[in-house]
């Protein structure tokens, strides 16, 4: 999510170098990383920038556990030391400021206990909703919608 040249990165996954290159190419200032939940495919590149990493307080234990996040389960080396990161659990009604806009969090447990979606309501009345892994017709999808 971006506003002018400030941005938050949502669920950075594994492609750390692509994310760093994109941010650098466009001259963005990363304010933080927002996690919809703590599964491995959403947290692999959270160390790409020296910024706070935000995760719902109910998913914090899942995030911390190597087995539960899948690094150990899928024989992957954890790409960072959690102790070197600024992890900040948030409450269900959290919000984040980006320029003159506000990013709001909606707690949506199900896929994980602390699963959350985020949305940005723009001054232009355009709303962008970022959904986490979502079951659609029995298939797992990651979805972003403009509403």
The model's pLDDT over 66-87, given as tens digits with 9 standing for 90+, comes to 656 677 777 777 788 888 999 9
The tokens describing 15, both together, are: 């492609």
CA atoms in the 13 A half-sphere facing the CB of 12: 27
Indicate the pTM of the whole model.
Answer: 0.78
Q: What pLDDT, on the 0 to 100 scale, is given for residue 81?
A: 85
Whole-number percent of the chain with pLDDT over 90: 20
Instruction: For residue 31, give its domain range.
Output: 2-146
**Closest by alpha carbon to 12, among 82, 40, 87?**
40
Q: What pLDDT, on the 0 to 100 scale, is given for residue 146?
A: 40
**Closest by alpha carbon to 9, among 47, 66, 56?**
47
Q: How many domains does the chain have?
A: 1
Q: Digits of tens for pLDDT over the chain (147 positions)?
A: 455 788 888 888 888 899 999 999 999 999 999 888 777 777 889 999 999 999 889 888 888 876 566 777 777 777 888 889 999 998 878 888 888 877 777 777 666 665 666 555 445 545 555 555 554 444 444 444 443
CATH number of the domain within which 70 lies: 3.60.15.10
Q: What pLDDT, on the 0 to 100 scale, is given for residue 129?
A: 53
């Amino acid at each position: 999510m971006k506003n002018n040249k400030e941005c938050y990165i949502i669920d950075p996954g594994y492609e750390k170098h692509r994310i760093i290159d994109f941010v650098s190419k466009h001259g963005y200032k990363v304010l933080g990383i927002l996690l919809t939940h703590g599964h491995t495919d959403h947290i692999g590149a959270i160390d790409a920038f020296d910024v706070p990493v935000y995760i719902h307080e109910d998913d914090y234990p899942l995030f911390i556990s190597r087995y539960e996040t899948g690094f150990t389960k899928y024989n992957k080396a954890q790409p960072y030391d959690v102790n070197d990161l600024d992890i900040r659990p948030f409450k269900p009604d959290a919000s984040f400021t980006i320029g003159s806009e506000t990013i709001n969090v909606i707690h949506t447990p199900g896929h994980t206990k602390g699963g959350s979606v985020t949305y940005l309501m723009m001054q232009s009345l355009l709303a962008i909703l970022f959904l986490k892994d979502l079951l659609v017709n029995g298939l797992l999808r990651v979805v972003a919608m403009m509403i």
